[in-house]
Amino acid sequence: MLWEQGGTVRGLNVYIFNGYLYFGGYDVAGGDPDGTPAWPYTFTRVPVDPSTPYVVTHVFEGSLGATTGTISGFLNGHSKH
């Protein structure tokens, strides 16, 4: 885990696993009256090399309380969604 913000029901994160950098986010608070998550964990990923410096930007595009939106990331200024 490189960065994480949020808690058990909503959050964003950036981590490396098996040679990939992941940009992820989730809102499992139960957005619908039946308890269905507003949106489950979703991510985008890109391969990375060990011992290589990178500049990472993580973006969540959506309004406060949104049940839709996008998760995207930028690696060294290039879009990865």
Domain boundary assignment for the chain: 3-79
CB 36 within 8 A of CB 8: no
Are 27 and 9 in contact, with CB atoms under 8 Å apart? yes
Query: Looking at residue 27, what is its pLDDT?
Result: 81
What is the strand order of the sheet 56-61 is part of? 56-61, 70-75, 78-79
Indicate the pTM of the whole model.
Answer: 0.76
> Is 46 within 8 Å of 20 (Cβ atoms)?
yes
Q: Per-residue pLDDT tens for 35-73?
A: 666 778 888 888 999 999 999 998 877 766 666 677 788
| Distance of alpha carbon 49 from alpha carbon 45, whole angstroms | 13
